[in-house]
Structure 1
Amino acid sequence: MTSNWAAFTTAEPDLAKTVEARFTAYTHHTLATLRKDGSPRTCGLEVRFLHGEFWLGMMPGSLKALDLLRDPRFAIQANPGEGQTMGGGDARICGRALLVEDPATIARYTDSVAVPDPNDFHLFRTELTEVTRTYVEDDTYLVVQVWNPGGPVRTMKRT
């Protein structure tokens, strides 16, 4: 089962707000894709939350775009920021990236986001399969919150 960002925000508004804040605190994040041989590839990426979607934009022909065109599964880890504090905890979004080819959708995106050449980039809309937040509570507990479409947030605590 998958979901878009708007559906996640409706289902779990508090977690969605926290995760979005973690991703918008910094520009660059780490994307994991699968290479042709199935091994992982990690690289930097900018993300956008617009029009109820979580978007990934990439240079044409980039290896990460080619990976997603071949196998749409991805995981994106939020930039932890400087130092040791990781304000708001750690956040990760997993799912499937679907290439957008509709000119009207691309135009709506590029009206909101500066793109060097609106006719020469890969735009992916995402379907979410998992959203995870990890943080430390009261300097005592490691707390992991996991959301999957169709279910509530599961919270696990460890000392």
Structure 2
Amino acid sequence: MAPVTATNWAAFTAAEPELAKTVEERFGAFTHHVLATLRKDGSPRTSGLEARFLGGELWLGMMPNSLKALDLRRDPRFALQANPGDGTGMGGGDVRIAGRAVEVRDPAEKARYSEEVEPPEPFHLFRAELTEVVRTSVEDDTYLVVQVWRPRHALRTVKRT
């Protein structure tokens, strides 16, 4: 099986600026979102998470030795779902990001992040490498619209009635 291509947030934004703006707005509407990781036995684990878009990257910060951080150290694959709120005002639609999390261990890079975010110390910091971005929305109260973006592929849009 061929390896899955991944890219950073800046490359996605350059490729699909309108979709990237919508995704950032959906994540910006709430502080806490849902992260899915894989446990040792391969079963899924979901956890709350604050995600940040800074300097052309999507960052995932976590408490030290949290189960989600340990999961990502063992298997970097993740899915991140924007908080839908109460479900009545899903302006921008439902958005999800999948990818691989790369742990940042360099103290200087963590210090630069801390200047912007001020996380509690100590903390784990992961930079997201995107493998897929999906937005699902309703258009004209008639169509379900699914937009799927993957690195090295054109944005695919499917409308269903």
Q: TM-score range by the shorter chain?
A: over 0.9
User: Which of 11, 20, 24 is 1:7 aligned to?
Assistant: 11
User: Which of 39, 44, 49 is 2:43 aligned to?
Assistant: 39
Q: CA deviation at 1:84?
A: 2.1
Q: CA deviation at 1:14?
A: 0.5
Q: Distance in 1 between matches of 2:89 and 2:141?
A: 12
* Percent identity of paired positions between Structure 1 and Structure 2: 73
User: Which of 33, 45, 57 is 1:53 aligned to?
Assistant: 57
Aligned residues: 157
Q: How does 1:63-142 map to 2 (within 5 A)?
A: 63-117=67-121, 120-142=122-144
SS class of match (2:73): helix
Q: Distance in 1 between matches of 2:86 and 2:54?
A: 26
Q: CA deviation at 1:87?
A: 1.2
Q: CA deviation at 1:116?
A: 1.6
Mark the runs of 5 or more structure 2 residues left unpaired by the alignment.
none
SS class of match (2:85): coil
- Aligned-residue CA RMSD in angstroms? 0.7
Mark the runs of 5 or more structure 1 residues left unpaired by the alignment.
none
Q: Distance in 2 between matches of 1:104 and 1:16?
A: 28
Q: Distance in 1 between matches of 2:106 and 2:46?
A: 28
| Structure 1 stretches of 4+ moved >6 Å | none
Q: What amino acid does structure 1 have at the position aligned with 2:107?
A: P
Q: Distance in 2 between matches of 1:129 and 1:83?
A: 26
Q: CA deviation at 1:15?
A: 0.4
The TM-score normalised by the length of structure 1 is 0.97
Q: CA deviation at 1:115?
A: 1.1
Match of 1:151 in 2: 153
